[in-house]
Chain A
Amino acid sequence: MEITREEIDHLAKLSDFSLSDEEKDGLTTDLKNIIGYISQLNELDTEGIEPTYQVFEMENIWREDEILPQEADREALLNLAPAYLGASGVQDNQIKVPKVL
């Protein structure tokens, strides 16, 4: 299966990352080879087989919805925010990002 440059651009957009032209060239070949490999599944007959999405043997484990003391509280989490324009990335208990509108 051929992978076009448009498809690479579309997948990069879905993946939310920027790519250089060189990266796009490499990925075009790599994705073609990988998709070629995984396409061998077509030979396998899976007619009437139920899919398995997870291998955990239990389901519906319930617990009370209660607030427990957290080691990583709001302040600890805010401290992780990266700097913004060379200054602290936190202001008024919130994380600063570029203007959205």
Chain B
Amino acid sequence: MKIASKDVSAVSMVKEALEKAKRCKNYNIFTSLNEESALNRAKEIDEKIARGEDAGRLAGVPYALKDNFLSKEGNTTASSKILEPLRAPLDSTTVEKLEAEGAIMIGRTNMDSFAHGSSTENSYFGPTLNAYDKERVAGGSSGGSAVAVAKGIVQFATGTDTGGSIRQPASFNGVYGFKPTYGTISRYGVVAMASSTDCIGFFARSADDIDLLMQICSGQDPKDLTTLPDYYNEKNDKEIKKIGIIKDFDLSKVDPSIKKAFDDKVSELKKDGYEIVELSMPALKYALAVYYIVVPAEITSNLSRHDGIRYGYRSESAKSLDDVFSMSRGAGFMPENKRRIMIGNFVLSSGFYDAYYLKAQKARTLIIDEYKKAFEKCDFILTPVSPSPAFKLGEKVDDPVSMYLEDVMSVPLNLAGVPGLAIPAGETESGLPVGLQIVGPRRSDKALLEFAGRIAGEAKINEEVE
């Protein structure tokens, strides 16, 4: 991470980032920019440096914040109409920790509304475009954050990953994207989607940079009772010898360029002396079905708080209290929000609860057990992130099931609470980035990032603006 110093001022770093952000305006990366306050913060950092004080491990580093993190700067819209007016009165814990180390938020990034989606096309503010092809999607739901890093605007950006929302856009734009072990980073002040799978994580240019962000942001938070005591900053001396590959994933159905990147990486690992272990994980193929039962059920519950009364958008035509709820929510949610809320109500309703919700939670146990057994045989697992590279805008937006299938290789990790990192792994013949995913057992986050640092290089940055 390049930080501000006596030679390179924070002001110059922030100015450069803001200029780049404006140059990339057509990519629709940001929902709002923070020019004035970011420059003021940068001046404060420069004064600290001039006085010889410690300005923090992220001194003057401009970063981008996914639009579902509460922050006193800008409106926390979660890229939705219903939260568009929300000016948060507090900072999320992650924002607090990053800024205590001197990082400077330059803007909030576009996402699928409420993080529901895999392409950032479900945003109230329109889609973010892919860093390498403006006719293609950025991936999602953290599409804006991924493109902000891929375009070289910022060195890092925050994301949330409920079923692949960091890893898939990272792979679509050729950068690193990390989803930690469930409970590693506080979710206080982040708009909730599905509480049993939501994780906070990061996009960056290298595994080393993500390691630094993890050192800063992991640990127990009294404001989030689902945070683990800090294990991340304990010494790691895990020796990595065996890498698992899952034979149940049918790679013939995966795009040839991704299959090639996968095969190449496996050969490389073999050559470097790692033992490749074949794993049988037959329940994983049900993970997507489990996910699209459990997650909508939790969404139904978490999104019921957005009622048009206490904050956000309220319909002006509402005449009765019931109208305030139904008209504010009816106009305030995007179509995909509505699909998920209704699916959640369906799987939780009497008569269907046992067949869908309970059944899914039992299947979840089988998936967790398969990971436990797998990690008795190997240290990490290597898989593709998604079945295809970035697809065309509009290609899947009218077919929710084909959009959901994007997540088939990323959701199992969230159901089991295990960490996963998307690493850049080459490109297709037409120059689209291809990513792979390294999966580890719970709490292996530090070892995983160190391993990734050994087997993959710095991410490519594409500053070209079409």
Contacts and interface: CB of A to CB of B under 8 A. Distances in A.
A11 B345 contact: yes
B343 interface: yes
Nearest to B325: A16
A27 B339 contact: yes
A51 B289 contact: no
Contacts of A67: none
Given A14-B345, A16-B326, A81-B310, A53 B85 contact: no
Given A51-B361, A82-B313, A31 B321 contact: no
A57 interface: yes
Nearest to B366: A49
Given A17-B333, A50-B365, A30 B400 contact: yes
Nearest to A26: B335
Interface stretch (B5-13, B86-94, B171-179, B255-263): B86-94
A30 to B, nearest CB: 5
Contacts of A89: 314
Contact of A31 (B290, B325, B343): B343
Contacts of A33: 399-401
Contacts of A46: 359, 362-363, 366
Nearest to A55: B417
Interface residues of A, number: 54
B319 interface: yes
Interface residues of B, number: 72
B363 A44 contact: yes
Nearest to A49: B362
Contacts of B310: 77, 80-81, 95
Interface of A is mostly: loop
A23 B333 CA distance: 12
A17 B191 CA distance: 20
B424 to A, nearest CB: 28
A77 B365 CA distance: 40
B254 interface: no
A50 B362 contact: yes
B117 interface: no
A38 B293 contact: yes
Contacts of A56: 182-183, 226, 228, 417
Interface in B186-226: 196-197, 222, 225-226
26 contacts: A11-B346, A15-B338, A15-B341, A16-B307, A17-B326, A23-B335, A27-B338, A27-B339, A33-B400, A34-B339, A39-B289, A41-B290, A41-B359, A41-B363, A46-B362, A49-B366, A51-B358, A51-B361, A51-B365, A52-B368, A55-B416, A63-B222, A82-B85, A89-B314, A97-B321, A100-B321
Interface of B: 85-87, 89-90, 182-183, 196-197, 222, 225-226, 228, 283, 286, 288-290, 292-293, 300, 304, 307-314, 318-321, 323-327, 329-330, 333, 335, 338-339, 341-343, 345-347, 349, 355-356, 358-366, 368, 399-401, 404, 415-417, 442
Given A38-B289, A49-B366, 19 more contacts: A15-B341, A16-B326, A17-B325, A18-B326, A34-B400, A37-B401, A42-B359, A44-B363, A51-B361, A52-B361, A53-B361, A54-B196, A55-B416, A55-B417, A58-B183, A63-B225, A79-B89, A80-B310, A95-B310
